[in-house]
Amino acid sequence: MALPTLKTSATTEELSLLHKRLRDIGYNEANIAQLLGRFDISELNGKEYPSYIWRCDRDTSELAKAVALFLLGRASDRPRVTELLGADLVSVLERCGILVEFRGAMVSLPVVFPCLDKLFFTDQWVGTGNQEPGKVYELGTDSYALARVTPRRNVEKALDLCTGSGLHAIFSAAAGAKSQAVDINPRALHYTEFNALLNGVEVQNHLGDLYNSVKGQTFDLITANPPFVPSPDPNVLIHRSAGETGEEVPEKLVAGLSKHLEPGGLFSMILDHPMYEGETYLERLERWLGADKGWGIATLTFHELTPANYIMGHLSGVETYDETFRNYLESYLRLGIKSMRFANVFIRRLQDANAPNWKVDQRCNWPNISLVPQVEEWLDCQATYRDPQWRPDPDWTPNLSPNYKCLWRDWTHSRGVLEMADDNWLQPEPLNEQEAELLFQMKPGTRSISELQQSWDDEHAFLQALRGLGIRRALTPFSPRKD
């Protein structure tokens, strides 16, 4: 089927009928995941398509009908679609080229993904392996992850590179930023324009290659979900192709930050990245930045796969599966790829351009909800407690943060473990002897810094232990920095 052309022939007010109707019938991430038997909507898998259809067919709810129509590409007849959506909304969606009728059957040409409190149209997500060039990327696991972990506090100027359906640019605009979006695929920009209209925000679109169309401009927030799959085949789809290592586009994105990120600004990029012997990923990011001063580099790692497992997940629908699999595997082994990690990269431009770089990798459970408050606090803690100029207020009375339930120590008190509170997704590292001791001494949050420090001969060791607890989000109260 030819790819659809969405027409911006309706107003935001008319399109709000779609928001209202879908909200009323519970068309959201959690309900859809439950209906389709998944942990998260972002994990929709073409191989499970028959199971999704089966689940919708045996369910009589309006949600099941809407999911069949708007997410699974199922046809229905006009009376049923009108009963589900109402005649006014059907007419609006027909005018926009979304609903079409063919020989008595009505279908939605694009699909609709809910994400946080917004809706996004994309091309159909069910892959056959031979997808049309120019297809606009669906909301995948990567799209949802980036949306769920990117803080947007105090952002005035935002740029979304590799925008696809435009969701990250639209979230920035909704947070009050002047928002710009770039994609190399003109169809993606049509979707971005339509989705901005649908969600009642303004986004300035540029057709182009990465930073080329925003030369000379700087931003408080730069987001990107770039192509990243290491692909020996140069003919793979545009939303995936980033060369044999998968790093051609990510490297250019990072290298461009010195020209385009404001001091205090944040870069947030989701990707799968290869792991090699001899250089950590944080070191590679630092190398691409080209400076050992003025940057905070943080990765939030969700999971890690062997090359074979990773390749398997990216070749669904390929006709010559065995041969293609072998080609990919040979290429990965030749390049020395040991494993593939799924992670979000955060790079903060420090206010002090001469401060030494800091680098941190944090393990995180895979989120099926927004983790923005947790990530915001984590990044604030890194920026604060890793700043060499930081000194604690002597009157501050720190306590164990509610992120954690309790501190466990081993018999010899040589290390400690923090037990997470139930809503904590970010996995804590073990504490060293001094950190565990300091936390124990704080109990139950009644001693000020000057009192605590009296029992420490070594001021440097005290400060290091305090910083160590701070960067793990283990201290409260915490006042974030303004930058």
> Least Å distance between CB 423 and ligand SAM?
26
DSSP category for residue 445: T
3 state SS of 439: helix
Q: Which residues contact 373 (CB under 8 A, 6 or more apart)?
A: none
> Least Å distance between CB 273 and ligand SAM?
14
> Least Å distance between CB 139 and ligand SAM?
6
Query: Hey, what amino acid is at 466?
Result: L
Q: How far apart are CA 219 and CA 159, in angstroms?
A: 7
Phi/psi at 373 (nearest 5 deg)? -60, -40
Residue whose CB is less far from ligand SAM, 110 or 164:
164
Residue whose CB is less far from ligand SAM, 171 or 425:
171
Chain residues binding ligand SAM by CB under 6 A are 137, 139, 143, 146, 162-165, 167-168, 182-185, 188, 209-210, 225-227, 238-239, 249
DSSP category for residue 481: -
Indicate the pairing of strand 111-115 with strand 118-122. Answer: antiparallel
| Strand locations in 282-414 (E) | 295-305, 339-349, 358-363, 399-400, 404-409
Pair of tokens at residue 146: 């980036």
Residue whose CB is less far from ligand SAM, 145 or 466:
145
DSSP category for residue 47: G
> Where would I find the H helices in 58-185?
62-70, 78-85, 87-95, 141-149, 167-174
> Least Å distance between CB 32 and ligand SAM?
17
Residue whose CB is less far from ligand SAM, 185 or 403:
185
> Least Å distance between CB 169 and ligand SAM?
8
Q: How far apart are CA 139 and CA 112, in angstroms?
A: 9
| Strand locations in 322-391 (E) | 339-349, 358-363
Pair of tokens at residue 225: 């979900």
Please give the angle made by the CA atoms of 384, 386 and 392, to the nearest 5 degrees: 55
Q: How far apart are CA 142 and CA 281, in angstroms?
A: 18
Residue whose CB is less far from ligand SAM, 145 or 297:
145
18 and 198 Cβ atoms separated by less than 8 Å: yes
Residue whose CB is less far from ligand SAM, 212 or 258:
212
Q: Which residue is nearest to ligand SAM (CB)?
A: 164
Pair of tokens at residue 296: 């905070």
445 and 397 Cβ atoms separated by less than 8 Å: yes
Residue whose CB is less far from ligand SAM, 236 or 420:
236
Q: How far apart are CA 178 and CA 61, in angstroms?
A: 40
Please count the other Cβ atoms lying within 10 Å of the Cβ belonging to residue 133. 10
Q: How far apart are CA 31 and CA 61, in angstroms?
A: 12
Residue whose CB is less far from ligand SAM, 165 or 179:
165
Give 476's strand partners.
Answer: 399
Q: How far apart are CA 222 and CA 212, in angstroms?
A: 14
Residue whose CB is less far from ligand SAM, 208 or 232:
208
> Least Å distance between CB 212 and ligand SAM?
8
> Least Å distance between CB 211 and ligand SAM?
9
Residue whose CB is less far from ligand SAM, 224 or 469:
224
Residue whose CB is less far from ligand SAM, 146 or 343:
146
> Least Å distance between CB 367 and ligand SAM?
15
> Least Å distance between CB 133 and ligand SAM?
10
> Least Å distance between CB 301 and ligand SAM?
19
Phi/psi at 178 (nearest 5 deg)? -80, 115
> Least Å distance between CB 143 and ligand SAM?
3
